[in-house]
Amino acid sequence: MSGYTGRKLIEYTWIPKSKTYLREYREFLKLCKDVQNKTSFFNDKLVGELMVKKKAIVDRDSTPDSYVEKYKEKSIGNQSYVSNARMLIRICRWLGWITKIEGHAKFILTAYGENLTKFNGSFPSEIGEIKESELMEKAFAKLKFYNVNDSVQYRNPKFKQRIFLNMLRVLNEFDVCSHYELVVSAFVLKDERNEKDYKNVIDRVKRLKNVTITIGEALAECNLDCKLKSTVTGVYDGPKVMLSFARQFGFVENIPISSKLNPKMNELYKKMYRNSGYIKPHGAKFVSHITEKGRRFLKENYQNEVIWYDELTDKIKEAAILCILNHNSKKIKLSDAIKSGFQNSIKNLSKQGIIKSKNDFLTLNILTDFDYYQDVPYEVRPYVLSVIKRLDENFLDTFDTIEDVMETKELFISNSSEKDTCYNCASPPCKSYSSFIDSFGASDRFADRVCPVNCISIDNEGNVEIDRTECVGCMLCIMRCPFNAIKLRNNYAEIKKSSKYEKITYGDKIKKTEELMKSVGSRNKMISLDEVEIIIKNFEGRITIPGKEWKKDKYYLFIRNIFRSFGLGTSYTGSGGMKTRSDVTIFTPFLATSEVKSPAEGPINLKAVRQSFDAAIQLGTTLTMAIGSNTHMGAIEQERKYNKITPSVKINLIESKYLHFLVLIRDYLSIDVDSIKRMLTNNSGYFNKEALVKFIESEARLKDIKTSTSKPIIDLVESIF
């Protein structure tokens, strides 16, 4: 790889391939804090071992103890959990959340990192009026390459740019860009202040879009060789990681470019990717488009002028002045600064137009975000701080700290006798599974989320809200509300609000919520049979809209949460890095695996049958499923072949509409964990309408349910399916 050092590319903004789920960064910082509280510092080995213990990282076929034991005799560099922690620490250092201290590989949280450890639950969370997403967005706006929190030997002073902002800057120039177009533009940009340098990278993308050069030729202009696989995979990681963060903030969205949905764009990228070594013409599946929110974020933050520490003349003193002036928009008394020996520093900064003096006060003359934790190199920070204290003795104490969440005040119902009304519960069950609120994605992706599209939120007053523009009407939230406050209205979930709320501390809110749930009990009513057909047909139509079909995360969450609704201990285990073949796994009170095909992935097919069988063998169970929105005939034949060879392994081919139906009518038939175990054990092959009717009839007989109850349900099956 041309210009490769073994750690990163010299001529390229190398980003470590790391986890990108922002909620997990917050949880990772909590692990770092746990170690820091015990030892006064942390490092990749200590945090890595704790990650294994907490199942933040997992290893196929290993328990946490055996995972650590497996790598015990290997060098640090070959211990996978240590490498994982190291990459996360490095990203967090770039963002100013973690910094190095004196000594070999010792780190601590900064004030910014400490603040993020206060948040809980789904991302983004809020504490009073403080929004977690805004704190993180601020860090990404200031993410610089090269970075003063990085180890000295790995800094590359050739680069003077804010990579996250410059990626958005390039996207803002064009309608869409692929990962590799960003590779040869934003990620090779050296100095963002150099207009000629910026024009060159933009012109390169224009030539790509005009098909006057290929991606391979564009990479060659950047001294990158597309015929080396390590180069291609290495440079792809940069935009992959940064775009993932941007999508979670809502700054960027994916645009599919399949030949079916977008034939012209698909043809363009085939031409662009031709003759480009390991970058194949069929490789582009989607491109990225900047949203209006992304444009606003770029405009608001790019206006800040960047001041680079290594370009300061009297570095220590000038950095001290800039840190004080930028922090909380402070002023410095000119006479005090002169008495303290800052004359030359004031002269240098004034000459450059960075500061100005008026009425014996120094203030900033430009918009800048020069920051103690993100612009001052960690190795000189103690010296800068000692100089800062000449003018501001309590400088570090003035960094904002988030008050204890238990003391924040939120709205809660003041009339608990008011029926069928939202109480604004603490940790509302319609939004989150409280027992999974601090779980890591390595053991269960989006573990605490109830709504597959995450459209339930809590505002800074404590109000529980449903975003109707995002709701797809699956109604899983209705089945979680203990007070029957969520209704089906015009095919959407809607919360009934009270006019009588009071503000109490969050600590008291937790106690009162628990007391109410014990005294009042669950008022949740069964979903009307008249609504079941409407819900299923509406939902199925929304998740299969051409070009907007549900992808893995939303669909897998929906399937997992259906099984949870029956009382089963179920996890989404099929995301990248989880080391398991099972997509959605039932762990308790019995073990069952699955291969899930989202509407975007296609029907249950031959491959899905094989993968569901492999998942069962890997985890050692005889119960497994292939789940999807519809079923290919070939899959039915394939299951029959497997059944003849290994009849002990029950492979159920189940379409999600049948599972959805069962969860909506569960209370009429008292469907519970034993019911689902019977369904999976007594059936194999295609679980069709006839199989559904047989299951309903058998459950009704077993539980001695009256025909007047079961027959309308069977009639409903005939009507819907």
Q: Are 143 and 164 in contact (CB under 8 A)?
A: yes
| pLDDT score at 2 | 41
Residue 673 and residue 86: Cα distance in Å, rounded?
41
pLDDT at 311 over 80: yes
pLDDT at 7 over 60: no
SS3 174: coil
Rounded (10°) CA dihedral 20, 21, 26, 28? -60
What's the angle, vertex CA 243, arms to CA 238 and CA 249, rounded to 5? 140
Considering only CA atoms, give the Rg of the chain.
28
Cβ neighbors of 505 (< 8 A, separation 6 or more) are 406, 407, 408, 409
| pLDDT score at 554 | 95
| pLDDT score at 120 | 82
pLDDT at 72 over 90: no
Residue 605 and residue 635: Cα distance in Å, rounded?
5
Instruction: Render 82-128 in DSSP notation, one character per residue.
Output: HHHHHHHHHHHHHTTSEEE-SSTT-EEE-HHHHHHTT--SSSS-EET
Residue 244 and residue 123: Cα distance in Å, rounded?
14
Domain assignments of the chain as residue spans, ordered by start: 22-122, 127-303, 309-398, 408-525, 533-720
The segment with the largest mean pLDDT, out of 51-60, 444-453, 668-677, is 668-677
Assign 521 a pLDDT band (cuts: 50, 70, 90). Answer: low
Q: Are 2 and 222 in contact (CB under 8 A)?
A: no
| pLDDT score at 441 | 66
Q: What is the CATH number of domain 22-122?
A: 1.10.10
The residue among 650 and 123 whose pLDDT is bigger is 650
Element (H, E) at 131: strand 130-131
Assigned fold of 408-525: Alpha-Beta Plaits (3.30.70)
pLDDT at 563 over 70: yes
| pLDDT score at 578 | 65
Structure tokens at 268: 């363009």
The residue among 445 and 344 whose pLDDT is bigger is 344
Listed as own residue / partner, the contacts of 577-580 with beta carbons closer than 8 Å and 24 or more positions apart are 577/19, 577/57, 577/442, 578/58, 578/442, 578/443, 578/445, 579/58, 579/59, 579/60, 580/58, 580/60, 580/615, 580/618, 580/619
DSSP state for residue 717 in the 8-state scheme: H
Query: Hey, what CATH class is 533-720 in?
Result: alpha beta
Q: How many residues does the chain have?
A: 721
Quick: pLDDT tens for 375-422: 999 999 999 999 999 998 888 887 777 776 667 888 998 876 778 899
Among 385-394, 438-447, 621-630, the least confident range: 438-447
| Strands 492-495 and 486-489, bridge-based pairing | antiparallel
Q: Are 47 and 90 in contact (CB under 8 A)?
A: no
Q: Are 543 and 555 in contact (CB under 8 A)?
A: yes
DSSP state for residue 59 in the 8-state scheme: -
DSSP state for residue 314 in the 8-state scheme: S
Mean pLDDT within 557-570 = 96
Quick: pLDDT tens for 228-246: 998 898 899 999 999 999 9
Give the rounded percent of residues in the chain with a pLDDT score beyond 70.
Answer: 93
pLDDT at 4 over 70: no
Burial 215-243 (b: 16+ CB within 10 A, else e): bbbbbbebebbbebeebbebbbbbbbbbb
The residue among 515 and 611 whose pLDDT is bigger is 611
Q: Give the burial class of 291: count Cβ atoms within 10 A of its Cβ; 0-12 exposed, 13-18 middle, 19 or more buried.
A: middle
Quick: pLDDT tens for 325-384: 988 677 899 999 999 999 999 999 999 999 999 999 999 999 999 999 999 999 999 999
Residue at token pair 């190398």: 14
| pLDDT score at 558 | 97
Mean pLDDT within 422-440 = 86
Handedness of CA 89, 90, 93, 97 (dihedral sign): negative
pLDDT at 315 over 60: yes
| pLDDT score at 602 | 95
Structure tokens at 69: 């034991």
Assign 61 a pLDDT band (cuts: 50, 70, 90). Answer: low
